[in-house]
Amino acid sequence: MELTTALGMVMGFAFIIICILWPGSVDIMAYVDPASVFIVVGGVIASTVVAYPLNTLKNLVKVMSKAFKARKLDLPKDIDMIIDVANVARRESILAIEDSVKAMNDPFFLKGAMLVMDGIDPELVREVMEMELSYIESRHSGSQSVILQMSSFSPAYGMIGTLVGLINMLGSLTDMDALGPNMAIALVTTFYGVILANLIFTPIAKKLKMMGDDEILRSELLLEGILAIQAGENPTLIRERLNAFLPQSQLEKLKSK
């Protein structure tokens, strides 16, 4: 599980609740209003359904759940595996790398390796694999844009709820008992809309973008590795080339070993 996502949300809600209760005399139930939830959550869902086709929305919950799943990026390990494959290709032949490639259990690398083993021209291999990368990036950015759009819908529906509450309040000024509930709807919906936008939707979209960028970086490393193997480069040279993908902190750690 990606602890920072869950921990950040828990911290956010905790700080909000502490802030609400800080005066010591506030009833937290005053911030719980089913009508406000209905307006904001229902409105966001409705607008999202209007804005995007079903094919885009059907996997949205699954995509959002990825922000809570830990995915450790271990580029040094990937480089080591690529070097192992390069050593097999150098000792035997490019056709002998199939078992080593399958052991990596990575569909992107396997696809590139199969193209190489089929004798496809290096430029064409790069073109095909970069097209695959662009499709992956497009899928990621599409899902992220939906979640960011939901973030922009949330405050808008909070404002709609505020307007509904104010209209109801102004229409019942003679009924003093109705002023409190109507004012609650007027204010709490804005409160809910801001929380949804800034504690849930926007952070999740940012986290997914970061994870997507990491996946693209790893795929670019794998692509450079398989092309270097196809070119018959020395494994030592391949390692030096792929080390360029590593952050400085990891490079220093590897040099210190």
Q: Which long-range contacts (CB under 8 A, 24 or more apart) does 96-99 make?
A: 97/229
pLDDT-based confidence at residue 25 (cuts at 50, 70, 90): low
CA 56 to chain centre: 15
| Cα 184 from Cα 193, distance rounded (Å) | 14
Measured over the CA atoms of residue 42, residue 202, residue 19 and residue 155, the dihedral's sign is negative
Instruction: Indicate the domain borders of the chain.
Output: 36-53+73-257
- Reading phi first (left if > 0) and then psi (alpha if -120 to 50, else beta), residue 52 is in beta
Condensed to tens digits (0 to 9), the pLDDT of residues 153-204 reads: 999 999 998 888 788 777 766 766 766 666 767 788 899 999 999 999 999 9
pLDDT higher than 70, residue 1: no
DSSP 134-173: HHHHHHHHHHHHHHHHHHHHHHHHHHHHHHHHHHHHHHTT
Query: Average pLDDT, stretch 134-145?
Result: 88
Judge contact between 68 and 1, C-beta under 8 A.
yes
DSSP 22-75: TTS---GGGG--HHHHHHHHHHHHHHHHHHS-HHHHTTHHHHHHGGGS-----H
pLDDT higher than 90, residue 148: yes
Q: Which tokens belong to 124?
A: 């064409």
pLDDT of residue 199: 94
pTM score, two decimals?
0.84
pLDDT of residue 247: 82
Condensed to tens digits (0 to 9), the pLDDT of residues 39-59 reads: 999 999 999 999 999 888 888
pLDDT of residue 26: 67
Q: Which tokens belong to 102?
A: 């399958």
Condensed to tens digits (0 to 9), the pLDDT of residues 89-115 reads: 888 888 888 888 887 788 899 999 999
pLDDT of residue 95: 84
Judge contact between 225 and 101, C-beta under 8 A.
no
